[in-house]
Amino acid sequence: MYRKIVFALLFMPLWVWGVVPTVVNDTTSEALYRLGLEYLTGNDSLGIYMNEEKGVELIRQAAERGCAPAQFRLALCYEEGQRVSQDYAQAVYWYRQAAERGDAWAQFNLAICYAKGQGVSQDYGQAFFWYRQAAEQGDVPAQYNLAGCYSKGWGISQDYERAVYWYRRAAEQGDAWAQYGLAGCYAEGEGVSQDYGQAVYWYRQAAEQGNAPAQYSLAGCYAEGQGVSQDYGQAVYWYRQAAEQGDAWAQHNLAVYYAEGEGVSQDYGQAVYWYRQAAEQGDARAQHNLAVCYAEGQGVSQDYGQAIYWWRKAAEQGDAEAQYSLGICYEEGLGVNQDSKQAEYWKNLAIQNGYQP
């Protein structure tokens, strides 16, 4: 992950006398950098046609003179392969040059490189170090990632209290992922006293920004009445928000609500639709439940062939109930040729995995 930066020109308006000659003729590193940016995109007002090769070369000259923003932008060029051969090692080199001059964005991107082992040996300790440098300058994504390091114990001893501190710093600046992370800490009582009311508050902040995992978790709070009055209608609402963004767990749970008629009118057709969305993403529970719909003809024409197909998908992922159902189908010849060995195999496997007939 790295930032795509839209650069704003900080010099005077173009109609002011003397600006164009100053920009073109000034050979300071900052001026070379600004001019390089102009060539990357072109600027008719300055009479500059887009010339990415020249733009990158000017940015390189500025970078070699120690201009930190130019060093950062040159690193991006190497990372993206923009008019230079893609070279992660060179990206790391220039990120480091800018990072050591205090550029927070470069510090963040250098941390990402260390975390991924991209252009440098993977090193969570170095990732943590550079996240901290950027975070302490107020960089919100770095604060979120630093919290994650503390939470997971990546590059530093696990420390939930420090994780909460940095999640909060980023959350209060509106970062949806940090809000989700902070909510999770309150829900689990990690680094802070368990408080479902605070969990709901922060889940909502993130959910209203469109964060699908937060929407899913907020729906769960309404479903269980944790930190908020139980409300199946609200649970359905938030599951739907997450489901429409492709969250497989939310799709499965929304399907269950339609199947059971909780918080919404019972509708097996909608249940099948949402089970299928989740099943096609590999959700074993949804695959099992979709198989049941086909076996029983709920919301779809009865079709043991399709039931077998989806039970097998779930069974191969270790779903014990699906394994046992598949065994029964082999035992009774439902949607498949009767086969006592296959029946015994799947039923025994289900029992080994905890299924109780």
pLDDT digits (tens, 9 = 90+) for 85-111: 999 999 999 999 999 999 999 999 999
pLDDT, tens digit (0-9, with 9 covering 90-100), for 208-267: 999 999 999 999 999 999 999 999 999 999 999 999 999 999 999 999 999 999 999 999
pTM (two decimals): 0.88
Residue 91 main-chain phi, psi, to 5 deg = -60, -45
- State residue 12's pLDDT score: 28
CA distance 230 to 148: 31
Residue 48, Ramachandran bin (φ over 0: left; ψ between -120 and 50: alpha; else beta): beta
Residue recorded with tokens 């139980």: 230
CA distance 190 to 183: 10
Residue 115 main-chain phi, psi, to 5 deg = -65, -35
Does the pLDDT of residue 9 top 90, yes or no? Answer: no
Q: Could you give the angle at which helices 212-224 and 248-260 cross, rounded to 10 degrees?
A: 30
Amino acid making up residue 205: Q
CA distance 251 to 241: 10
Does the pLDDT of residue 20 top 50, yes or no? Answer: no
Mean pLDDT along residues 315-320: 98
Does the pLDDT of residue 284 top 50, yes or no? Answer: yes
- State residue 45's pLDDT score: 85
CA distance 287 to 306: 11
Does the pLDDT of residue 13 top 60, yes or no? Answer: no
Is residue 78 within 8 A of residue 113, CB to CB? The reply is no
Does the pLDDT of residue 199 top 70, yes or no? Answer: yes
* Start-to-end C-alpha separation, the chain: 48
Is residue 278 within 8 A of residue 248, CB to CB? The reply is yes
For the chain, percent of residues with pLDDT exceeding 90: 90
Give the pLDDT band of residue 27 (cuts 50, 70, 90).
Answer: low
Best CA proximity match to 314, nearest among 296, 297, 327: 327
